[in-house]
Amino acid sequence: MRSRPYKGLVAVAAAAALTATACTAQDEAQQKPKEKSALFKSGSDISYQKYGKNYPTTKVKDVPGSCSYESISRKDYSGQTLKIISHAVPVIGEPTQLHAKQFEEITGGKVEVVNVPFGELHQKILTPLQAGQPAYDVMFYPSLWIGDMAPYLAPVPEKYLNTTGMQDVTAAYMDVATWDGKVVQYPVDGDRHYLKIRADVLKDPKWQAQYKKATGKDLKVPTTWTEYQDIAEAFSGKDFDGDGKKNYGSAEVTKRDDLTFSAFISRAAPYVKNPDEGPRVFRTGI
């Protein structure tokens, strides 16, 4: 989600599927919650309105099952603390804080959320694990880090894999949560590499005529990097949304030590596998 208006004509966005893991408790008997009366009825509407001004009308339908709001609200975690590490606010970090408040309210447990800039997330999670001193109960991170994290993670219990919500997750996302044949991560967010365009500008006869005059080419959705570059250059510095300010011809992820690697994948992938080639078999091993 973006908190500010987008000012580019075309954009490439890319990110890895986000996953969350939960470290196993050393004393499971101590973590077992007491039972109490449910705060929700099965299948009722759940509202986030009271948790912040950004959620005035957000509602979801509670899905019956062991992970439903109705079921979770029956558990009393009073006196226990859940430690979570997540991305910086607002992306991922903000909803983590939102649900932390909600979890505290309906279970009585305390939730401590540590928000970390993406560039520091890998180190903040992995270093305590390597030292044998896991600092968090729940960890949010890109699924592609599974190789680093897997040695420290226990398999997701079968009872959770068999819930309705988990069974609805497609194989593509379950694959990135699986290591050595075992599911060790919970798929939370599935992103894709994609091209986003200002269709209103590309279809505007005025801009089509100007582009044709300047380049000798028809203005259309780019299908190659060359066409992408041509459009980006032609529209850079133009006021194509009519607000009196110049816009950019394109917008991409370029922040160092952050998500630049995802943007690089968008560029590199077309050269790794040419669509005109036949099937290629990849084998991995030591």
pLDDT at 230: 94
User: What is the C-alpha to C-alpha distance for residues 154 and 139, in angstroms, rounded to an integer?
Assistant: 13
pLDDT at 191: 65
Across the chain, what does the average pLDDT equal? 83
Q: Percent of the chain beyond pLDDT 90?
A: 44
pLDDT at 148 over 50: yes
User: What is the C-alpha to C-alpha distance for residues 141 and 3, in angstroms, rounded to an integer?
Assistant: 21
Buried b (16+ CB within 10 A) or exposed e, 139-162: bbbbbebbeebeebbeebeeeeee
DSSP structure string for 219-266: -----SHHHHHHHHHHHTT---SSSSS--EEEEE---TTTTHHHHHHH
pLDDT at 168: 83
pLDDT at 284 over 60: no
pLDDT at 134 over 60: yes
* Residue 45 tokens, joined: 């509407």
Residues 215-255 have pLDDT tens digits of 999 999 998 889 999 999 999 999 988 899 999 999 888 87
User: What is the C-alpha to C-alpha distance for residues 173 and 186, in angstroms, rounded to an integer?
Assistant: 9
36-45, 113-122, 190-199, 253-262: which is most confident: 113-122
Q: Percent of the chain beyond pLDDT 70?
A: 84
> Pick from 90, 88, 83, 86: which is nearest to 53 by CA?
90
pLDDT at 207 over 90: yes
pLDDT at 59: 82
What's the start-to-end Cα distance of the chain, in Å?
A: 40
The predicted model gives 121-147 an average pLDDT of 92
User: What is the C-alpha to C-alpha distance for residues 96 and 115, in angstroms, rounded to an integer?
Assistant: 9
Residues 44-95 have pLDDT tens digits of 898 888 777 777 777 888 888 888 899 999 999 999 999 999 999 988 898 8
pLDDT at 178 over 50: yes
Dihedral sign for Cα atoms in the order 179, 181, 187, 192? positive
